[in-house]
Structure 1
Amino acid sequence: MLSSLGAAPKMVDWQGRGYFAYPGGLATPAGTEGGQLPQAGDHIGWLDALSRAKHGDFSLLPRLVGLGGADPHPVMRRLCAELLGDAGPASVVDTIAARLATEDVGFERTLAWGAVLTRRGKLADMPIVLAAFERVATFSDAEMLPVHLSGCLETGYELCDHQAYDSLQHYRQAVLDRCAALAEGFGTDQICVCGGELLGVVGLARRMLQRLREPCFPFELRRRFECATGIDCSSFYREGVFRPAQAVAILQGFIESPHASRFESGVRYFWGHRIPDQVADDG
């Protein structure tokens, strides 16, 4: 967050307080605009969008697509991409998918928007992310996109590393084959998936309990669960060290609670609120 109006934004700490580190939106105090860094106003806009989304108002999310103009602060770009993936209405994310599929948006935006699409997890978008990755595969940081694709399409790690394949073409075919298999199994590619299964909060909690038996629990799973439910999972970690007993208590408590029955399979949620397909920007 911003420690002051002139400070640089920082990434959300998913081994710390996550979005709970941002208790509410901020209004720009009168007379302070001239003393702000260029990204300060963008960060306040991001905070307001986050605060409203926590209360079920997604009207500011469309603004995050273009926040920061042509050359945004790199951390702001990532913050916006993360929140759009977590809470972006379908129409907003569909616009990003269309642009990523048809425009040369540059390396940094390719990574950011690829992350948006994989955080939503719509099966039909995965070939778009794959094609975008192929365009930037020679850049070292591009390796994050196969990791995101794997997180959507499988429970294992076969698709995590494209370099494990004989060629990029073989990797491409493996991803497309997996997409086709899932589409055939579900009867459509117009669904959201996570871990190769239909997106679902209860299913995610159960997979997280299973994943606790393996080493190196990924904080990405904590992020997905916390964003969907609004349940504070900060106790999963203490000073960056994962605490499985705390995770078990929270996840098992959720699964056994009446609260879990509110979450429908195949539906995206943010802070317990169903994310709408469309939303009108309030101005």
Structure 2
Amino acid sequence: MSVWKSKTLRLEFRTCFRQKTMNEPRFLGEAMRPAYLRETFLVSGDTFHFSSPPPPDVAELRHLASDEPWRVLSCVLANLQQGRFDVSRRLVGLMHETNDAVIWNACAHLLSFAAPYSVIRELEAVSEKLLESDRHSPYTRQYFCVILSHSAGVWGVPHLIRHYRGLKNREVENDVEYNLSQVLETEPGPILSGPQVLWESNGLPPPFEESTPVFLVDDYLSLIGETFQRLVSSERLYEQEALVEGERLNIRNVARRLLSRVQTGTHPDRIEMGRMLLEATTGLNCRAFFDDSGRLKNLTAAAIVEEFLERGDADRYQPGVRYFFGHRIPD
């Protein structure tokens, strides 16, 4: 893989933590994060679990009107864990109210894995308004790509492709190619590799000759579109179904692939995605997948997934349907 196509091996909603994602203030929210959310919403942390017991009134709906983002997020999470999905609309409002990258990261996690598609459609409808704001940089578009890819709706793939077309930075395009691959490819393949590159000479003789890369984006977009249409046809997918790793979402298959990957240590980005999807769907606490420094504990992770599969818990979940903590997400 060329230096133009090198990719990092961490899926940490990378735009959300990249300092150039948003204009100031960027990370004021981190300083205000309460102890019971210390590792919550972090991929190698507690993701969708509270790090320690929250206040007993955390789920009271009056907190949704708070001007303290972490109080709002705690209330939303507590209610979502109980299957009360209407609270997810408050996340869209929170993204209008703040440009703090850490808060947007938390909102992105919850919208991706717990919000009904009706809410994500509402966010997508106002995405361009949010993106045109002077408060945000062009890198902000990747948030919408992350939400669309991890929420996995068949309806959302054309919107994801549209956002990809709107990216203006090769580094961000690399990251979104991860997102596209995770939706459309069972294993990393040509979609992950991104557009092919041609080197165009300026026509001067050495030592004055210089070459510039030309990315064959149109060919790449054709590949994405054709792959998506083939999957819709072969899987007979409806637009409200979820599409993950090249097939109708099936949590048993997600767990089986996750088990194989933690046993071999292959595709760390897919391990993190699989962990998040398994945990979000079932409510299973997978914190023990990683040590305190974020390194994967292969044997421990494998044991957790093996136990899930052996119990037959996957039978509870209908293919193509999204769940959060065992509760079926509406629409």
* Contact residue 235 and residue 247 of structure 2 kept, 8 A: no
CA distance in 2 between counterparts of 1:61 and 1:74 reads 18
Can you give the 5+ residue segments of structure 2 that lack an aligned partner in the other structure? 1-28, 59-65, 133-137, 198-214
CA distance in 1 between counterparts of 2:41 and 2:121 reads 24
* Contact residue 122 and residue 189 of structure 1 kept, 8 A: no
In the superposition, the TM-score normalised over structure 2's length comes to 0.72
| Compared CA separation, residues 78 and 161, structure 1 to 2 (3 A) | farther
* Contact residue 281 and residue 322 of structure 2 kept, 8 A: yes
| Aligned equivalent of 1:160 | 192
| Aligned equivalent of 1:150 | 181
1:210 aligns with 2:260: yes
| Aligned equivalent of 2:24 | none
Q: How does 1:55-94 map to 2 (within 5 A)?
A: 55-69=82-96, 71-94=98-121
Q: CA RMSD in A?
A: 2.8
| Aligned equivalent of 1:273 | 327
CA distance in 1 between counterparts of 2:159 and 2:259 reads 31
| Compared CA separation, residues 6 and 227, structure 1 to 2 (3 A) | closer
Q: How does 1:100-119 map to 2 (within 5 A)?
A: 100=127, 105-106=131-132, 107-119=138-150
CA distance in 1 between counterparts of 2:329 and 2:116 reads 6
Secondary structure, counterpart of 2:268 in structure 1? coil
* Contact residue 85 and residue 120 of structure 1 kept, 8 A: yes
Larger radius of gyration: 2
Secondary structure, counterpart of 2:257 in structure 1? helix
| Aligned equivalent of 1:177 | 226
Aligned length: 266
| Compared CA separation, residues 137 and 210, structure 1 to 2 (3 A) | farther
CA distance in 2 between counterparts of 1:250 and 1:199 reads 20
Q: Which amino acid aligns with 1:250?
A: I
Among candidates 171, 175, 188, match of residue 140 of structure 1: 171
* Cα-to-partner distance string for 1:70-129 (whole Å, 9 max, x where unaligned): 5421211121111101100121112233444x7673435421122111111112321211
CA distance in 2 between counterparts of 1:54 and 1:11 reads 13
Can you give the 5+ residue segments of structure 1 that lack an aligned partner in the other structure? 29-38, 278-283
* Contact residue 61 and residue 88 of structure 1 kept, 8 A: yes
What's the % identity of the aligned pairs? 24
Q: Which amino acid aligns with 2:252?
A: V
Distance apart, 1:24 and its partner CA: 3.8
* Cα-to-partner distance string for 1:117-163 (whole Å, 9 max, x where unaligned): 11111123212111111111335334322211110110222212424
| Compared CA separation, residues 129 and 6, structure 1 to 2 (3 A) | same
| Compared CA separation, residues 198 and 88, structure 1 to 2 (3 A) | same
Q: How does 1:116-135 map to 2 (within 5 A)?
A: 116-135=147-166
| Compared CA separation, residues 10 and 232, structure 1 to 2 (3 A) | closer
* Contact residue 229 and residue 271 of structure 1 kept, 8 A: yes
| Aligned equivalent of 1:260 | 314
